[in-house]
Structure 1
Amino acid sequence: MLGLLLLQVLASCLWLGHSEVVTPFASCPQFFYSETPPNNALNPKNPAWICQRFRNSYHYATLYDRDRRIPVYSAYKYQPGDGKEPPEWWMVEPQLIDKNVNLKEMKRESDLIDQHHFTLEEIEESQAVLEDYEGQKDLDFGHLNPSDHMENQDSKMATFTLTNVVPQDSSLNKGQWNIYQSKTMPQHTKDCTTTYVITGAVPGNINIAKGRVNKPSHIWSAACCVVGTEPTGAWGAIAENDKNEVETITLGELEDKLSNLYGGKVTLFEKACPRE
Structure 2
Amino acid sequence: TFPNDVLKPQNAAYICQRYSNSYHFATLYDRAMRIPVYSAYKYQPGSVQRPDTWSFVEPQLISNNNLKEMEREWVLIGNQNITIDQINASQAVLEDYEKAIFWDRGSLSPSGHHDGRGSKTATFTLTNTVPQDINLYTDQWYKYESEIMSKYSKDCTTTYVITGAVPGNSYISDNRVNIPSHIWSAACCLNGTEPMKAWGIIFENTNSDANTTHLGELEEKLSTRYSRGNVNLFDSACPRQRISRP
Q: Same fold (TM over 0.5)?
A: yes
Query: Among residues 212, 215, 233, which one is paired with 1:251 in the alignment?
Result: 215
Query: Among residues 135, 144, 149, which one is paired with 2:99 in the alignment?
Result: 135
Query: Among residues 7, 15, 19, which one is paired with 1:54 in the alignment?
Result: 19
Q: Which has the higher helix share?
A: 1
Q: Distance in 2 between matches of 1:126 and 1:206?
A: 18
| Structure of greater Rg | 1
Question: Counterpart of 1:9?
Answer: none
Equivalences for residues 221-260 of structure 1 within 5 A: 221-260=185-224
Note if contact 1:175-1:244 (Cα within 8 Å) is conserved in structure 2. Answer: no
TM-fit CA distance, 1:84: 1.9
TM-fit CA distance, 1:194: 0.3
TM-fit CA distance, 1:247: 2.6
Q: Deviations over 1:237-258 (max 9, x none)?
A: 1100023323311100000000
Question: Counterpart of 1:206?
Answer: 170
Question: Counterpart of 1:117?
Answer: 81
Question: Counterpart of 1:270?
Answer: 235
Question: Counterpart of 1:84?
Answer: 49
Q: Secondary structure at the match of 1:82?
A: coil
Q: Deviations over 1:143-188 (max 9, x none)?
A: 1000000011100000000000100000100000000000000000
Q: Percent same amino acid at aligned positions?
A: 61
Question: Counterpart of 1:66?
Answer: 31
Structure 1 unaligned segments of length 5 or more: list them.
1-35
Q: Distance in 2 between matches of 1:68 and 1:201?
A: 11
Q: Secondary structure at the match of 2:212?
A: strand
Q: Which amino acid aligns with 1:79?
A: Q
Note if contact 1:205-1:215 (Cα within 8 Å) is conserved in structure 2. Answer: yes
Q: Distance in 2 between matches of 1:84 and 1:184?
A: 20
Q: Secondary structure at the match of 1:242?
A: coil
Note if contact 1:71-1:200 (Cα within 8 Å) is conserved in structure 2. Answer: yes
Q: Distance in 2 between matches of 1:95 and 1:109?
A: 13
Q: Distance in 1 between matches of 2:231 and 2:184?
A: 13
- Give the TM-score of the pair, scaled to structure 1: 0.86
Note if contact 2:139-2:207 (Cα within 8 Å) is conserved in structure 1. Answer: no
Q: Distance in 2 between matches of 1:172 and 1:60?
A: 24
Q: Distance in 2 between matches of 1:69 and 1:159?
A: 16
Query: Among residues 24, 36, 41, which one is paired with 2:6 in the alignment?
Result: 41
User: Mean alpha-carbon deviation: is it higher for 56-65 or for 243-252?
Assistant: 243-252
Q: Which amino acid aligns with 1:80?
A: P
Cα RMSD between the aligned structures? 0.7
User: Mean alpha-carbon deviation: is it higher for 140-149 or for 245-254?
Assistant: 245-254
User: Mean alpha-carbon deviation: is it higher for 241-250 or for 251-260?
Assistant: 241-250
Q: Secondary structure at the match of 1:249?
A: coil
Q: Which amino acid aligns with 1:242?
A: T
Q: Distance in 2 between matches of 1:96 and 1:168?
A: 23
Give structure 1 regions of 4+ aligned residues with deviation exceeding 3 angstroms.
none
Q: Which amino acid aligns with 1:163?
A: T
TM-fit CA distance, 1:197: 0.0
Q: Deviations over 1:223-245 (max 9, x none)?
A: 00000000000000110002332
Question: Counterpart of 2:244?
Answer: none
Q: Distance in 1 between matches of 2:97 and 2:178?
A: 11
Note if contact 2:99-2:173 (Cα within 8 Å) is conserved in structure 1. Answer: no
